[in-house]
Amino acid sequence: MLDIRLLRDDPDAIKAGLARRGVDGAAVDRLIDFDVAHRALLARQETLRQEVKALSKAVGQAKKERDEVRASALAEQSRAVGDEERRLNVDVEAAAEAIRSALLVTPNLPAEDCPDGESEADNVETRRWWPGLEQGFPFPTFDEHQQVPHWEVGEALGILDLERGAKMSGSMFPLFRGMGARLLRALTSYALAAHADAYEELRPPTFVLTETITATGHLPKFADEAYHIERDDLWAIPTAEVPLTSMHRGEILEEAVLPLRFTASTPCFRREAGSAGRDTRGVLRVHEFDKVELVAYATPEGAKAAFDDILTRAEALLRGLGLTYRVLDLCSGDIGASSKRTFDLEVYSPGCDRWLEVSSVSWFGDYQARRASVRYRPADGGSPQFVHTLNGSALAWPRIWAALIEQGRQADGSVELPEVLAPFLGGTTTVTPRR
């Protein structure tokens, strides 16, 4: 969440930053009004407390002077003021909750170098990569046998069974079979091995507390997109970002341990409530999928290096897989509510003839850390400061799976997978029809 002190010190700057996201300045004015009312109540509460303290002292002095009548009157007055202070505390807590509730739905300020824009149409493509680019090869063209959508290829090879997946769990819950399932496992092993040099591998819980999913900004804004187990008040994670960002919730770290880097492979659950038939064929948009996530805690000064490292790793995986991709610098109107800056990676799908998002790499500043209360103690002394959090998918597998199956399809209907996956597939890289 935003630092309330920024609202007090420079409300115009906050309004200008949020206006880049399309947020009306009236929302900021309401926050300021809540804060002014809260501080006025706190001031009144403190006045009453001081009055009770002074009256208590006067009662003691009256008793010392054996003036019981005055002591009794002062004690009665003290009780009345104390009762008023306790009643006022209800209003103080309500005002504090109003501020917190408003801050929880107020988005982060875009970074200064985040491109301005209103929607995904204004995102900036920064670069493309394809096999042979460094050797001067032109942007690839794909043969007719590669321009078959993955759901047809997967069904023909017996490695994707959408019908039985829907039979068990409903639509948008795919069933991968045989080499289709092995490919997902191989991709996960490939990614985790690539990150093992610098990121601690974790296996966090799949279900988390409300406080945990609120810390990243997924609640309350995206409650309709999440799966909630009401009986236990637990939430199925939409991404490993949620538990990893909250792992040190409420803690103060030493600066010397930063940056902290974590990676995890988890299932991810999303309702896709607003999809309404859009991109729902095949595995382009599903309710459950596997993903390897990278998360980092850093100092403000170390945040850029941490951001660049996550982005570089995600791109390196795509290059290793030989997938044509592009990098988009998301505009202020399209970045996530918690983000200050986001780069998306999109691979080209020849079977669907479109670009598919497979990774978002984001820098959140101290926005998430304030919600989770994750701070660090500066090495040179001073008060604890909030860490900066960063994360990125490296990578999310369904669309990678789709692109590999389409791009690797051969004229005879088989599929050739990238050689980098051979060690994780028992040495084979050829997918042929199941017998």
Residue 144 and residue 54 share a domain: no
Residue 60 and residue 175 share a domain: no
Over the stretch 422-431, which tens digit does the pLDDT of each residue have? 999 999 999 9
Supply the DSSP string of 170-188, one letter for each residue.
Answer: -TT---B-THHHHHHHHHH
In this structure, is residue 113 part of a structural domain? Answer: no
In this structure, is residue 114 part of a structural domain? Answer: no
Question: Would you state the structure tokens that stand for residue 11, as one six-digit string?
Answer: 């409300």
Q: Give the C-alpha separation, 360 to 213, whole Å.
A: 18
Instruction: Answer yes or no: are the C-beta atoms of 41 and 88 closer than 8 Å.
Output: yes
In this structure, is residue 314 part of a structural domain? Answer: yes
**144: how many CB neighbours lie within 10 A of its CB?**
8
Per the listing, tokens 């020849």 go with 350
Residue 199 and residue 327 share a domain: yes
In this structure, is residue 394 part of a structural domain? Answer: yes
- Whether the upstream peptide bond of residue 220 has omega within 30° of 0, thus cis, is yes
Residue 169 and residue 207 share a domain: yes
- What is the percent of the chain with per-residue pLDDT over 70, rounded to a whole number? 99
Confidence of residue 354 (pLDDT cuts 50, 70, 90): very high
- Whether the upstream peptide bond of residue 418 has omega within 30° of 0, thus cis, is no
In this structure, is residue 193 part of a structural domain? Answer: yes
Over the stretch 130-145, which tens digit does the pLDDT of each residue have? 999 999 999 999 999 9
**Number of domains the chain is built from:** 2
Beta bridge partners of 235: 208, 228
Final residue belonging to a domain, choices 72, 104, 136: 104
Question: Would you state the structure tokens that stand for residue 140, as one six-digit string?
Answer: 């690839």
Q: What mean pLDDT value characterizes the chain?
A: 96
Over the stretch 47-69, which tens digit does the pLDDT of each residue have? 999 999 999 999 999 999 999 99
- Identify the CATH number of the domain in which residue 132 sits: 3.30.930.10
Over the stretch 7-39, which tens digit does the pLDDT of each residue have? 999 999 999 999 999 999 999 999 999 999 999
Q: Give the C-alpha separation, 283 to 150, whole Å.
A: 8
Confidence of residue 434 (pLDDT cuts 50, 70, 90): confident
Final residue belonging to a domain, choices 104, 136, 154: 104
Confidence of residue 275 (pLDDT cuts 50, 70, 90): low
Tell me what pLDDT residue 277 has.
60
Confidence of residue 273 (pLDDT cuts 50, 70, 90): confident
The pTM (predicted TM-score) of the whole model is 0.93
In this structure, is residue 112 part of a structural domain? Answer: no
Instruction: Answer yes or no: are the C-beta atoms of 349 and 356 closer than 8 Å.
Output: yes
Alpha-carbon dihedral angle through residues 59, 64, 70, 73, given to the nearest 10 degrees? 30
Taking residues 267-292, report their average pLDDT.
87
Residue 129 and residue 76 share a domain: no
In this structure, is residue 353 part of a structural domain? Answer: yes
Final residue belonging to a domain, choices 104, 131, 148: 104
Question: Would you state the structure tokens that stand for residue 70, as one six-digit string?
Answer: 């005055």
Tell me what pLDDT residue 433 has.
87
Residue 155 and residue 66 share a domain: no
Residue 194 and residue 168 share a domain: yes
Q: Is the pLDDT confidence value at 375 over 90?
A: yes
Tell me what pLDDT residue 13 has.
95
Per the listing, tokens 């983000």 go with 339
**334: how many CB neighbours lie within 10 A of its CB?**
20
Over the stretch 142-172, which tens digit does the pLDDT of each residue have? 999 999 999 999 999 999 999 999 999 999 9
Backbone dihedral region of 381: left (phi > 0), alpha (psi from -120 to 50 degrees) or beta? left
- Identify the CATH number of the domain in which residue 21 sits: 1.10.287.40
Helix 179-195 vs helix 303-320: crossing angle, to nearest 10? 140
Residue 418 and residue 332 share a domain: yes
Residue 285 and residue 150 share a domain: yes
Q: Is the pLDDT confidence value at 276 over 70?
A: no
Residue 223 and residue 82 share a domain: no
Q: How far is CA 53 from CA 40, 60, 65, 80, 81, in A?
A: 20, 11, 19, 13, 10
In this structure, is residue 211 part of a structural domain? Answer: yes
Residue 98 and residue 133 share a domain: no
Q: How far is CA 332 from CA 43, 109, 114, 122, 220, in A?
A: 38, 9, 6, 9, 21
Q: Which residues constitute the domain of residue 50?
A: 4-104
Residue 66 and residue 140 share a domain: no
